[in-house]
Structure 1
Amino acid sequence: MIFPMMIIFYVMIIACNTDTQSENQKVPNQANSENIVIGTKGNTPPSQITPKPEENPSTIQINPSAKTTKTLPIFEVVSEHPKACINDHFSQFVRVHGMYVVGDEDAPSDYVLHTANILAQYLDNDEDGIPDDQVVTDYLVANGFIVPVWTKDIRENFWSSARGTWCEDNIRTVASMYHADSGDQWAIGGIEKAKIWDTNLEEVWHVVSAAWYRVYPEYFNDKFDDPRDSLLTEAVDAARGGYFEEAPKIYPAEAWYRYFDCPYGCQVHEYFYWITVANIGALDPAITNWCPNEEWSICTKEELRIRDVRAYDLLNNHGFKLPTHIPDGSYSPTKQ
């Protein structure tokens, strides 16, 4: 895989480690399509379902005392992953704020780069070169979360061959993107430009949000292993018209969130995705036909403020540095 020449900038980062068939599309002529390698510095944090890949992030322990000091690029196309058990199945690698987006040899390179840019924009939504919440990013890095761009066959082969290797216990793929035989959509250039939905907005967020459940449990606990409520689960229960451990066959008439495919913890994850993309304007009917739908009907931030008071308050009134802009796959941290 040949990529254009990289532009490299480095500064010091002090990291606190916590615990389908798609046609190849032409890469837009913009900065994110180049192999950009940019450095960053530290930041003070604020006061679905496949076999092995869809692990429960609740099982991962946080280690807030572990600290490392190293020079890290924030966006870099690299030739390999540090671990051989990853390299045996993937040939494309993009390191994003210490995380990895990986692609198999048949994954279109513009797809892999697009996914990496979406990840970068979720982690650093204001694009100043610094993760918006360093603790969230550190958690994802320390616990081996990656974002694969692969096929279902490669996914199965990867986890089968990972048994007994470093990858079995140290790599986590809570969600992923499929470049073939899945129905995943790729809005190269962003949903407003491409005029289609971008599945990356959901799947990449599922990976990033895995950290929010663990790092801020009082606010975002998903109740997978920890039975305590959080502001997020309280909002879920209100949106579903009550608490249901399993999805009911028929939701109460007053419910505005109706998801039928998985148990409670998974319901929380899908809800967090819906409220996040509504809050950043990605569901606005003016730019997408993705909303309303039978699962979710709140399409704008203003509707969220009026109809889902708990969700709006959680996302906007507690000082968290959650995304506020729609990732479009054009990460360009030039606002430093």
Structure 2
Amino acid sequence: MTICATQYVADSKLQHAANVTAQWLDNDQDGVVDEPRLIVPLQGNHATLLMSSEGFSDQALDKLEPYFDHMVGQDLAANETNPQRQRDASQEEIHHLIVNAGWQYYLPAVFSDSKTQRSEIYKQWQLAEQQRLYKYDDPTCDDACKTIEFFYLGTAAYLGSKADLESDEMRVKTRKELQHMLPGLVKIFESKRYRYPLVKWPDGNYAFSNNIAYVGTKLR
């Protein structure tokens, strides 16, 4: 995984994002990637987190667009990264990137967001909507987007991130409720075929920071 930042992103924000990334990949925090089979698709897709101070302008995104032909990217604003008294958006955006560039390519039958693939998480999203357990009203978010948003919020419920569940988008708020109302989603999380992050909600406190390579030159 590569994280790039503009010159206006503080080093502390960049480091926090790097630590959250490491925690999603090494969720049991033993210094080793939990699911090593993610490494090939993440590297092959050039998974890249793009950080700006307050979000990229439309003009900036237009300039970045050609690069998305060669990588799977995700943007993250520094002012939403580890803010005081607000939800930390880094967990969500980095989870999206790892799912989109890694899990979907490693096991598409389980993690794909494609309508034609109709993966296991896609079916769980449809089931949750049919049962009125999940609803995402953003008109710009298509079925693929809603699937990935649902999967993240399901993960938040399983690992106990209350800050991510304050809205009514996901009506299932705890692991116990997931087990009762969406047992199929819990089955995906707990499958023995792979190691999905089930130990700790990333908080930016990663014990093996020497595993993260830092290059001080920032994009302008």
Which of 202, 216, 230 lines up with 2:92 in the alignment? 202
The answer on whether the counterparts of 1:118 and 1:200 sit within 8 Å (CA) in structure 2 is yes
The answer on whether the counterparts of 1:280 and 1:323 sit within 8 Å (CA) in structure 2 is no
1:256 matched to 2:130? The reply is no
Which of 102, 110, 119 lines up with 2:21 in the alignment? 119
Residue of structure 1 in register with 2:82 after alignment: 186
1:232 matched to 2:121? The reply is yes
The answer on whether the counterparts of 2:82 and 2:89 sit within 8 Å (CA) in structure 1 is yes
Q: Higher RCO, 1 or 2 (CA under 8 Å, sep at least 6)?
A: 2
Question: Any idea what the Cα deviations from partners look like across 1:171-221, whole Å, max 9, x if unmatched?
Answer: 331x221125xxx2525xxxxxx6642111111100011121221112112
Q: Which segments of 5 or more consecutive residues in structure 1 lack a partner in the other structure?
A: 1-98, 188-193, 242-253
Q: CA deviation at 1:319?
A: 3.7
SS at match of 1:223: coil
- TM-score, structure 1 length as denominator? 0.56
Q: CA deviation at 1:299?
A: 1.7
Q: CA–CA distance in 1 between the matches of 2:136 and 2:149?
A: 8
Q: CA–CA distance in 2 between the matches of 1:168 and 1:255?
A: 35
The answer on whether the counterparts of 2:55 and 2:76 sit within 8 Å (CA) in structure 1 is no
Question: Any idea what the Cα deviations from partners look like across 1:143-188, whole Å, max 9, x if unmatched?
Answer: 111111114446743642664xxx3532331x221125xxx2525x
Q: CA–CA distance in 2 between the matches of 1:263 and 1:232?
A: 15
Residues 1:228 and 1:258: Cα distance change in structure 2 (over 3 Å): same
Q: Which segments of 5 or more consecutive residues in structure 2 lack a partner in the other structure?
A: 210-220
Residues 1:255 and 1:169: Cα distance change in structure 2 (over 3 Å): same
1:332 matched to 2:211? The reply is no
Q: CA–CA distance in 1 between the matches of 2:150 and 2:24?
A: 17
Q: Which amino acid aligns with 1:186?
A: N
Residues 1:161 and 1:302: Cα distance change in structure 2 (over 3 Å): closer
The answer on whether the counterparts of 1:176 and 1:203 sit within 8 Å (CA) in structure 2 is yes
Q: CA deviation at 1:117?
A: 0.4
Give the number of the structure whose residues are more often helix, by fraction. 2
The answer on whether the counterparts of 2:111 and 2:121 sit within 8 Å (CA) in structure 1 is yes
Residues 1:256 and 1:107: Cα distance change in structure 2 (over 3 Å): same
Q: CA–CA distance in 1 between the matches of 2:176 and 2:182?
A: 10
Which of 102, 106, 118 lines up with 1:215 in the alignment? 106
| Higher Cα Rg, which structure | 1
SS at match of 1:139: helix
- TM-score, structure 2 length as denominator? 0.83
Give the number of the structure whose residues are more often strand, by fraction. 1
Residue of structure 2 in register with 1:321 after alignment: 195
Residue of structure 2 in register with 1:172 after alignment: 72
Q: CA–CA distance in 1 between the matches of 2:176 and 2:91?
A: 20
Count of aligned residue pairs for this structure pair: 204
Q: CA–CA distance in 1 between the matches of 2:64 and 2:121?
A: 37
The answer on whether the counterparts of 1:159 and 1:168 sit within 8 Å (CA) in structure 2 is no
